[in-house]
Chain A
Amino acid sequence: MKAMNHTDHIHRKLQVSGVLVILGLLVEAVCLLWSRPIAFVVFAGLGGFLMATGVLLFLYSLVFVVSREKEVVAADKNEAS
């Protein structure tokens, strides 16, 4: 049961990370097609921020997977004993 919740939690993180990356990518695509000086700022500011947040959340979820897996294995061992 714990393992199930744990997987759902990771999947939710991946989904949020994916949505942030998609939004960042779409902002960047629009800015590349929009030839105005403000597009440069939106590209680097908003697009970069969304993508960086998505990537960092993904990296965090990788770290989270490893630490939570250890916790789940330890908890299952305790329950079994």
Chain B
Amino acid sequence: MPTSAIVILILFSALLAGVLVLRPAITVHAGGKILAFGVLFFLPLFCLRAGLDNETERSKSTTFCLSCHIMEPYGQSLRVDDPSYLAAAHFQNHRVPAHEACYTCHTNYAMFGTFKAKLGGLRHLYVHYLKTEPRPEDIKLHEPYNNRECLHCHLGARSFEQGAVHNADPDTLPAVKANKLSCISSGCHEVVHNVGTLDKVKFWTE
């Protein structure tokens, strides 16, 4: 449901509620009772649900994540002109949806993953408003990056399953799949955002 439609519905509901506030006596009649039920129970809950869905979808967007000042270098890192930068390579080649780039890699592809990702976002707000923010280059993940998030897309892909480096040692692929050998911190794909070195790189311009 588009944002404008939800806002119009909310304002319409508020208007009807206003009628009830100004003329509560209309609830004496059956029609007024039905109106009161719709305006003070059904419509608020419907608006809340529609609004929450809308806010949750919007919170997945790349622009939403990058609207925080501290995230700006991470947004810049998506445009580094160097294929060894993992995040940039994924973003520029649309290996992840460009409009949901942050969310696609940083959500949790397990049960209640979106909910957990949003809870993580609340922690960011807590630190932003109530604690001392770290420098962008000092930001760390709450927990080590789980290979499950990479394998959500790469598992079964030819380049992953039959890649020369992945198969050079027969123990590598099983260890990666079991999350015993990290994709990004075992010396293989460890250049991800590297925001501390952005002043030394070239940027891709569309």
| Residue pair A37, B125 in contact (C-beta under 8 Å) | yes
Q: Are B47 and A28 in touch, CB under 8 angstroms?
A: yes
CA distance A7 to B32 in the complex (A): 14
- In whole Å, how far is A36's beta carbon from the nearest beta carbon of chain B? 6
> In the complex, A48→B11 CA distance in Å?
16
B44 touches A (CB below 8 Å): yes
**Interface magnitude class on chain A:** 35 or more
The answer for the CA separation of A58 and B39 in the assembled complex, in Å, is 10
Contact among A14, A26, A36, A39 for B36, CB-based, below 8 A: A14
User: Looking across the interface, which residue of chain B has its beta carbon closest to that of A48?
Assistant: B48
Q: Determine which residue in A22, A33, A35, A47 has the highest number of CB atoms from chain B within 10 A of its CB, and name it.
A: A22
Chain A facing B: main interface SS: helix
Residues of chain B with a CB closer than 8 A to A35's CB: 58, 63-64, 67
CB within 8 Å of B: which of A16-57? Answer: 17-19, 21-22, 24-26, 28-29, 31-33, 35-41, 43-44, 47-48, 51, 54-55
B52 near A19: Cβ-Cβ < 8 Å: no
From B13-21, B87-95, B108-116, B163-171, the one touching the partner chain is B13-21
A-B contact pairs, 17 of them (CB 8 A): A10-B27, A14-B20, A21-B14, A21-B17, A25-B44, A32-B10, A32-B54, A35-B63, A35-B67, A37-B59, A37-B67, A37-B68, A43-B55, A47-B51, A54-B40, A55-B40, A58-B41
